[in-house]
Amino acid sequence: MSGHNKWSQIKYKKGIKDARRGKLFSRLGKNITIAAKNGGNPLMNATLKMAIDQAKAANMPHDNIERAIKRGTGEIAGAEIEEMKIEAYGPGGIALLIKVITDNKNRSLSEIKGILQKHNAKMADSGSVAYLFSPKGEIKLAPMANQPVTKESLEELIIESGADDFTDLDNGFLIYTFAADLGKVKKFFEEKGIAIESVKLVLEAKELLEVTDIETAKKILSLLNELEEYEDVDDISTNFDIKEEMLKEIT
């Protein structure tokens, strides 16, 4: 049984976002720069187009987007931006796959290692965690107040879209697709006039590890919150499952 990234759902439900708009733009810009290394034309580079779409959805200024593209293509000089994945085990033995985009790998690695140690988590050998996840498409729809249809009609459209699954977040829907269908499902919603907040490829846990101890659950969320605050962390995939009843006790 596969399981969606519980941390993504918790973030969206609780409204956990980047503390500063500048931090968000920095992350989005780095994603664009990485993608633009394979070509600066979004019509010919699907990864770049997705990164630009995410930036536009976050209202990132056009000039910032253009600079990030030119930095990736080498038209603008700057520190080398690189991507790396850090594999780790957290409280309760949960698996963590941390996507990092940085201009200094050694610094990022050292500081993330420090965050992990602070929360009784530890680095894992390369490949020991990655196999627990598989690629999935994730589409976050804008809140219902910004949609041209009713909630019931939107649910019908989600089913019609060819999406693999979806979660009702109360203030919008989180939709999952097979990785290869992400572009097709996104286009479906755009043609229907449905407002989209974000679109991205994520890594989904093949199986979820249920956390039944409330103190362990608190430690997990504390670790993930601090990792989210670290600017070079772009995304976190995990395999834990905390039931809603326990989550309400914690928050």
- For each successive 10 residues of the chain (251 residues), what is the average pLDDT? 64 56 81 94 92 87 94 86 95 95 94 96 94 93 91 95 90 90 94 90 90 93 92 91 82 67
Whether residues 58 and 151 fall in one domain: no
186: domain CATH number?
3.30.70.980
Whether residues 122 and 226 fall in one domain: yes
Residues 182/183/188/189 CA torsion (nearest 10 deg): 70
Residue-level pLDDT at 231? 87
Place of tokens 């286009």: 187
How many CB atoms sit inside 10 A of residue 130's CB?
A: 15
30/32 Cα distance (integer angstroms): 5
Whether residues 39 and 152 fall in one domain: no
In a domain, 12, yes or no: yes
Domain count, the chain: 3
Whether residues 227 and 108 fall in one domain: yes
Residue-level pLDDT at 21? 59
* pTM, 2 dp: 0.81
Q: Where in the sequence is the domain holding 43, given as residue range(s)?
A: 6-73
Residue-level pLDDT at 19? 45
* β-strand pairing of 209-210 with 240-241: parallel
Whether residues 110 and 230 fall in one domain: yes
Whether residues 224 and 213 fall in one domain: yes
In a domain, 190, yes or no: yes
Whether residues 189 and 214 fall in one domain: no
